[in-house]
Chain A
């Protein structure tokens, strides 16, 4: 299996505050990589560095390299707009636009210019909703407001919206923290199916979720990557005492 993203000596600052310190890790293609750690440990900040969403915050600064398919995404000539199409993102709270189900999914393909004709756009929307396991629930009411869906459906709609622009990587920032256990499981099933086609990086507060839904896990503590390993090894035989303390609930 090859590396989709390679992070090398990566530091990140909010103004004078160093949020990420000397990170080195490899994210495997077509696998699910989970990032765990206590609040404020930098895992969400790191996730937002992978598609340069932190660029939108004033006073931030990145050093080191994040290589996506071998090319540093922080190089000066990188087209950030194109990068974000290739590395999509699903957010903590389901956040559909206050528009129809159809328009939510079609927004990305429209702005990116993926569909020339309306039947092509229809096809992309249907395919994306199928990909997000939402098609059967909404196919008869694509013109209804997206905000009429329940939270679990809304989050799957956001996933459909993300995969509609055909990214290669999907970043998920605690995608289940606003969902009930049933909706959480359906999103986890979906992640597993999506990982056949996409590389997934998920930030989660929920260690059970990391343990049951991911292939690799990284443990963050105060801006540093304490341990990174196959999920099974990390949870059954952590190498670092801090990791063990955290996953057994003694620190955190």
Chain B
């Protein structure tokens, strides 16, 4: 086989493999859309479930997921950004920072059900928050921190070193340099990381299982100490725990959840491409 033939073969093989990876994703999405689209209506999104969840809509679960996503952002954002700034700009290479980095890598690999159990033990029971939006947000927030920290740290490190050097040489302090030269340029990458983290938080079931999610609670939460329904858990419930559940409602719920998670990814991608186009170095 000549070099050119080998090259052509490589192109064909790699294209086929890439296609094999993409096809299942497209099929899953198409299938859920096809099965779930008939259920979608304004009433489905704005009404509470009725008649043992066999009728009505998903509004309490949808609202719960939105609230939990906000809660996650409030918990995860400041802690993650602060950690990323510390690691990228201030931390030296010592035992403490090696421990921090190892903790982050390990946190990223922990199964989400373990976060759920931790949340139950720490926030629900030990700190006495009960099964509540607060406990769920804290649990989801901790779960998203590794991905937000590592994307934010990468974004900060990608800012050219010369911006820092010039800023310091003009008599700016380290913090002024970070605040006015590094963070503005790292922001698109940081935002991308946050949105991806939130997308993951919105779709997870296990961490909210013991910490916040209600089996059936048509009333809306009044405070962060209330329970709430949430889409992923609701989907689990109506798919496995309720006999005689209409398929349409199950797929409609799945479709809404899928759309929420996909829209997070889409927004993250748009932010990134938009900011990259404006980048000038």
Q: Within residues 168 to 210 of chain B, which ones have a CB less than 8 A from any CB in chain A?
A: 168-173, 176, 180-181, 185
| Closest B residue, CB atoms, query A103 | B180
Which chain A residue has the least Cβ–Cβ distance from B172? A111
How far apart are the CA atoms of A158 and B181 in the complex, in Å?
Answer: 16
Contact A98 B280 (CB under 8 A): yes
Residues 93-117 of A at the B interface (beta carbon under 8 Å): 93, 95, 97-98, 107-108, 110-112
Contact of B171 among A95, A97, A98, A111 (CB under 8 A): A111
**Cβ proximity bits B245-281 to A, threshold 8 Å, 1 near / 0 not:** 0000000000000000000000000000000000111
Give Cα A112 to B169, complex, Å.
Answer: 12
Complex Cα gap A24–B164 (Å)? 30
**Taking chain B's interface residues, is the majority helix, strand, or loop, or is none over half, making it mixed?**
helix
Q: Is B162 among interface residues, defined by CB-CB distance under 8 A?
A: yes
Residues of B within 8 A of A91 (CB): 162, 165-166, 169
Contact B181 A97 (CB under 8 A): yes
Determine if A165 and B180 form an interchain contact, defined as CB atoms under 8 angstroms apart: no
Contact of A84 among B92, B170, B279, B281 (CB under 8 A): B170
Residues of the A chain whose Cβ atoms lie less than 8 Å from the Cβ of B180: 107, 110-111
Q: List the 8 shortest-distance A-B pairs measured between CB atoms, nearest first.
A: A85-B171, A108-B170, A98-B280, A89-B169, A111-B172, A111-B176, A84-B171, A95-B162
A81 at the interface (CB under 8 A from B): yes
Q: Is the CB of A162 within 8 A of B170?
A: yes
In the complex the two chains form, is A85's CB within 8 Å of B170's CB?
yes
Question: With an 8 A cutoff between CB atoms, is B163 at the interface?
Answer: yes
Complex CA–CA separation, A145 to B92 (angstroms)? 35
A-B contacts counted at CB < 8 A amount to 63
B168 contacts which chain A residues (CB < 8 A)?
53, 56, 84
- How many angstroms from the CA of A57 to the CA of B50 in the assembled complex? 66
Chain B interface residues (CB < 8 Å from chain A)? 92, 162-173, 176, 180-181, 185, 279-281
In Å, the complex CA distance between A111 and B166 comes to 13
Check: A82 CB closer than 8 A to any chain B CB.
yes
Distance between B213 CB and nearest chain A CB, rounded to angstroms: 46
CB distance from A51 to the nearest CB of B (A): 7
Q: Does A147 contact B (CB under 8 A)?
A: yes
Q: Which residues of B contact A162 (CB under 8 A)?
A: 169-170
CA distance in complex: A52, B17 (Å): 54
A88 interface hit (Cβ, 8 Å) = yes
> Which residue from chain B places its CB closest to the CB of A53 in the assembled complex?
B169
CA distance A84 to B281 in the complex (A): 25
- A43 sits at the interface (CB 8 A): no
Instruction: Mark out the residues of chain A between 39 and 93 whose CB falls within 8 Å of any chain B CB in the assembled complex.
Output: 51, 53, 56, 58, 81-82, 84-85, 88-89, 91, 93
Q: Does A156 contact B (CB under 8 A)?
A: no
| Closest A residue to B163 using CB positions | A97
Q: CB distance B169 to A51 under 8 Å?
A: yes
Of B163, B166, B181, most buried by chain A (CB within 10 Å of CB) is B166
Q: Which residues of A contact B173 (CB under 8 A)?
A: 81, 111
Q: How far is the CA of A108 from the CA of B177 in the complex (A)?
A: 11
Residues of chain A within 8 A of B164, CB atoms compared:
56
A85 and B167 CA atoms in complex are apart in Å by 10
